[in-house]
Amino acid sequence: MCLALRIARRAAELVLSAGTPDVWLKEDGSPVTSIDLEVEDLVRRLLAEAVPDDGVVGEERAEHRGTSGRRWLVDPISGTADFVAGRPTYSVDLALEKALAVSVMPSLDITMAAGRGIGCRVFRAGEEEVARVSSTDVVEGARVCLHGKRKPILERCAVVDGATSVLDLITGRVDAVIAAGAGLDEFDLACLPVLVEEAGGRVTVVEDDVVLATNGVLHDAFLSLLVARPGVEPGTPGS
């Protein structure tokens, strides 16, 4: 965990110190910047120095196949569109597959970190807190961050802004997050399961482009609703 925190925070410092980046569109139409590449290169170099036998796969560079059986996932800037637009809700995400997850929001000075069996913590401006999901146990009035278009199935819930949805879920400010959109990939999901599950919640990939994360208590109820009658139409997932 210490290694992941150190590397992710170094990457966050690079983002904050960078000037105005060059921006272009990838083949899928999503934006990428020169800072994405610089951050991923830094993370790869630091991992190579510390754990040279580990594999590394990043969103912008080719995969490095290791020999240790461990694999790191790097999303240098999760929420590049937010970063380009000057919104502070982007993050630097680093995960040791299925074991550790660190997500740093440089502009908000917030770090989320979790490891299997050691819990989930949030660091804000140097202050540390244990992250725990809410105890809400009824769908009616449940607070939901929705990335996608609202449908009648969610009329029973209080749909709230999803800009910091993962942070809000693991700290109990919302009860569920539903993300739907063609942009979801393994990098979007790299940190989510470990962060949410170690805070006491649950995560399910309902379909290839629909992900449900909840406080755990409400999970089966939301899952049955989504499977029986999808509650969202594809939209743009948040950070």
Q: What is the pLDDT of residue 160?
A: 81
Q: Is 77 annotated as a binding-site member?
A: yes
Q: Of 108, 135, 166, which residue sits at a domain end?
A: 108
Identify the domain boundary among 60, 90, 108. Answer: 108
Domain hosting 204: range is 143-233
Last residue of a domain, one of 55, 86, 108: 108
Structure tokens belonging to residue 223 = 């899952």
Convert the pLDDT of each residue in 161-214 to its tens digit: 778 999 999 999 999 999 876 556 778 788 999 999 999 999 999 876 789 999
Residue 22 in domain: yes
Compute the mean pLDDT over every residue in the chain, rounded to the nearest whole number: 89
Interatomic CA distance for residues 216 and 199, integer angstroms? 10
> Residue 123 falls within a domain, yes or no?
no
238: in domain: no
**Structural domain includes residue 116:** no
Please give the residue that has the higher pLDDT: either 127 or 28.
Answer: 127
User: Whole-angstrom distance between the N-terminal and C-terminal Cα of the chain?
Assistant: 22
pTM of the model: 0.90
Is residue 181 one of the residues assigned to a domain? Answer: yes
CATH of the domain at 97: 3.30.540.10
pLDDT at 234 over 60: no
User: Tokens standing for 58?
Assistant: 């990043």
Tens-place pLDDT, residues 112-158: 999 999 999 999 988 999 999 999 999 999 999 988 765 555 677 88
In the chain, the number of structural domains is 2
Q: Which two tokens stand for residue 161?
A: 């802004």
Instruction: Check residue 26 and give its pLDDT.
Output: 86
pLDDT for position 154:
66
Return the closest-CA partner of residue 56 out of 41, 71, 40: 71
Residue 178 included in any domain: yes
In a domain, 133, yes or no: no
In the numeric block, which tokens belong to residue 140?
Answer: 């009616």
- Residue 225 has φ and ψ, to the nearest 5°, of -65, -45
Bridge partners (DSSP) of residue 179 are 147, 211
Whether 74 and 149 map to the same domain: the answer is no
